[in-house]
Amino acid sequence: MVGVAAEPRLPGVLRRTVESACALSGAGYGMLAQILSGDRLGKLTESGGERVYRRAGELPSGPGALVVPVGGYGRLCLIGEFTAAHREAVTVLADAASAAIRNADRYEHALRRERWREASQEVTAALLRGEDGVSTLHTIADEARAVAGASGGAIALPDESDPEALVFEVVASPHREYQSMLGATVPTHGTASGEAYTTGKPVVVSGYGGHVAIQQANSGLELPSTLDDLDSAVAVPLVAGEDRLGVLLVVRFREADPFTEAEVELVRDFAAHAALALEFASAERDRQRLAQFEERDRVGQDLHDLVIQRLFAIGLGLEGLGRATGQPELAERVSGFVRDLDRTIRDVRNAIFSLQEPGHAGGGVRSDLLRMAQDSAGMLGFEPRISFDGPLDAAVTGTVRLDLLATVREALSAVARRASARSASVEVLVDRDGRLLTLTVADDGDGSPDALAPLRRRAAKWRGTLEVGSLDEGGTKLVWTAVLGG
């Protein structure tokens, strides 16, 4: 009994308790079973004999079984032949073990709280280092996974194209195959992450992998081979004041202990601190951007008033020169220069637009695309190049705008999943008549994009097409079209 009380850590107390009980009673097999809410079996600590009860997932019973309560922790179960003296000795040991378990549990809780505090400090330090929002989300998910002893951590954010859905923008796991879940969408109702987001309260589930397999069966995503082994999961909201930022999820494999109520509280506290830190960092970035507005506006105005007007005048002069010359070959060369100037003017106009703050650039689809490019930098490791042409803000509105944004987001997620791309471009065009929308996403990565079924469905919805091909210089090009105006 002295040995049991002398152990400071919980695993040692549990092991010593079972070993001491077997030694006192002469039992051939001993098990200390944690009893969770709903009389579910939790952690099992065994000594001696065949581990049949661990495999069966039940407590020993029948002749030769001695089951003694151990405070509020669980049951001490022994198999053998016992006398009244044995039973009395084991009961006394169980009482002593109950007190030792409470002390060790308090000690473990203090250690866990300290580790979570250090994780919170790391998130704050990452923000102070100037990490962008997506990189900080990666830090939050990875710190939560590591401290929780989980096999994976993830963060889901509201889907800009669907108010009833969340998108997993960050997946942190030492198992590479789980990166295939990047970009997965889940409804805000009927899922653990969705319920945590809508209710603002932690949600704990078991058999998490099975739920995901069913929910994502028709998503077109390549599901990890070990998905069914994911068991205990905790989804907690990322909330700062009245603002719901998203959801933090941590999940463990089946062989690990399920999350306890105390652990859930620690995850919730960490998420609350992380959300507050993100909100403060966002406010600071807003202040810095506001300080740049005047200069950006001045530069943009100068580009428009001076550079574009001069280029336009040069183009008009060249057109007149081409018509005046009587040499067809020279006229064609001049026309080529005029076309080059037109493209240059379009590029300068795109540059002027990108100088505007995306969140304050009129609220059109161009603003959404620029913001999406910036937000995807953390996921991709670089910021994709964005270009536009045609009357996008006038022609691409309503549902087609939401479908375009969802398609761009999923196409960039597919680039990120392949992990070999070093650059990418997004080109969005509307023809002069405002009848055809064309999206082209190109990258220099290896392999072909996956999970294209949702993109095909959206293209078909708008009587458009989806084509995927290889680039001559290496890489992949995805072309998605939609017919506008009926």
Residues of the chain with pLDDT under 50: 2, 357-361
Which domains, from first to last, does the chain contain? 2-108 (3.30.450.40), 129-282 (3.30.450.40), 366-486 (3.30.565.10)
Q: Quote the pLDDT of residue 285.
A: 65
Taking Cα atoms as reference points, which of 485, 475, 297 lies closest to residue 400?
A: 485
CA separation, residue 445 to residues 245, 419, 454, 472 (Å): 31, 7, 21, 13
- The DSSP H or E segment spanning 387 is strand 385-389
How many C-beta atoms lie closer than 10 Å to residue 304's C-beta? 13
CB–CB of 119/226 below 8 Å?
A: no
Q: Quote the pLDDT of residue 2.
A: 46
Q: Quote the pLDDT of residue 104.
A: 85
Task: Decide: residue 298, CB within 10 A, 0-12 exposed, 13-18 middle, 19+ buried.
Answer: exposed
CA separation, residue 120 to residues 42, 138, 274, 284, 343 (Å): 28, 13, 7, 19, 49
432-470 per-residue burial string, b: 16 or more CB within 10 A, e: under 16: eeeebbbbbbbbbbeeebebbebbeebbeebebebebee
Taking Cα atoms as reference points, which of 182, 183, 204 lies closest to residue 193?
A: 204
Q: Quote the pLDDT of residue 297.
A: 65
Do you know the residue count of the chain? 486
